[in-house]
Structure 1
Amino acid sequence: MRFEICSPTLACGSSRAWTSAPGDRAYSLTRFLLDLGKTVVPIHPRAETVQGNDGFASIADASPVHGLPNVVDVFIRSDRAGEFADDAIDVGAVAVWIPVNVIDADAAQRMMDAGLLMVMDRCRAIDYARLVT
């Protein structure tokens, strides 16, 4: 599976990341995925609309509407990444992508033990560019 380009993607992150300027990494990656034609579902406790897509308060709330998430992108600090990893495991997600400078070794081990595909401390946009050029 080439999960760097899978859909749907559940994008978990801070409210500030979704509403910030296009230069923000979370905003830019979300825009990148949308521009590729991917379904991006925002996950945030306040269930905000992000770049025109209705949000959900949790991964579990989004799954009945959008089905099994292929990729859960985590745009959050390292100290909170584990909770989203655990949620992804609980709903049966296929993969979790945790971006550059977000590292949680315990969460990585839990995901691997659960059989999830997992990438940590890497950028999907950069890796995608490497694969298609």
Structure 2
Amino acid sequence: MPLLDDAGAIRDLLSRTRTIAVVGASTDPGRPSHGISLYLARAGYRVIPVNPTLMGRSLAGEPFRASLAAIQEPVDIVDVFRRPDAVPALVEEAVAAGAPALWLQLGVGHPDAVRRAVAAGLAVVAERCISVDHRRLMG
């Protein structure tokens, strides 16, 4: 799959998506991952929060998972809110989990990891905000 950077391809990905794993999700209302997770849930997506430090808590009605491997059902997009240096390992987790798409939020770029994800067959959206694109393309 390619690096998706045009409106039509991104709209198509968002319209096919039902479940989004938000890696780096937070229960802190001041964190972008918190607000965006809630926005995506209100938009009708199932949001599965991933953060090993928040086990036992929930967000958008879903319990936190420790890792992508801990999610027992298919995920359509892995949405990443982590530092760029964490992205290569997350790409490997996404590939191992069979995720079809990876979304790297603004400031989460890692060109080598993006190349690895694309080479592994994932559709990749990089350096874009999923809620901004959703509002613009699906609203």
Instruction: Give the TM-score normalised by the residue count of structure 2.
Output: 0.82
The residue matched to 1:100 in structure 2 has which SS?
coil
2:28 maps to 20
Aligned residues: 126
| Aligned twin of 1:70 | 76
Matches of residues 49-64 of structure 1 in structure 2 within 5 Å? 49-62=58-71, 64=72
- Structure with more relative contact order (C-alpha pairs < 8 Å, separation 6 or more): 2
Q: Which residue of 1 is the match for residue 3 of structure 2? A: none
Structure 1 stretches (4+) deviating beyond 4 angstroms? none
Looking at structure 1, the residues matched to 102 and 88 of structure 2 have their Cα atoms a distance apart, in angstroms, of: 11
Give the drift of 1:114. Answer: 0.5
- What is the distance in 2 between the residues matched to 1:44 and 1:129? 26
Match in the other structure for 1:96: 102
Which structure 2 segments of 5+ residues have no match? Answer: 1-8
Q: Secondary structure at the match of 1:20?
A: coil
Q: 2:123 aligns with which of 117, 120, 128?
A: 117
Aligned to 1:38: 45
What is the aligned-residue identity percentage? 29
CA RMSD of aligned residues (A): 1.7
Find the counterpart in structure 2 of residue 107 from structure 1. Answer: 113
| Structure 2 residue 9 is matched with structure 1 residue 3 | no
Structure 2 letter corresponding to 1:39? R
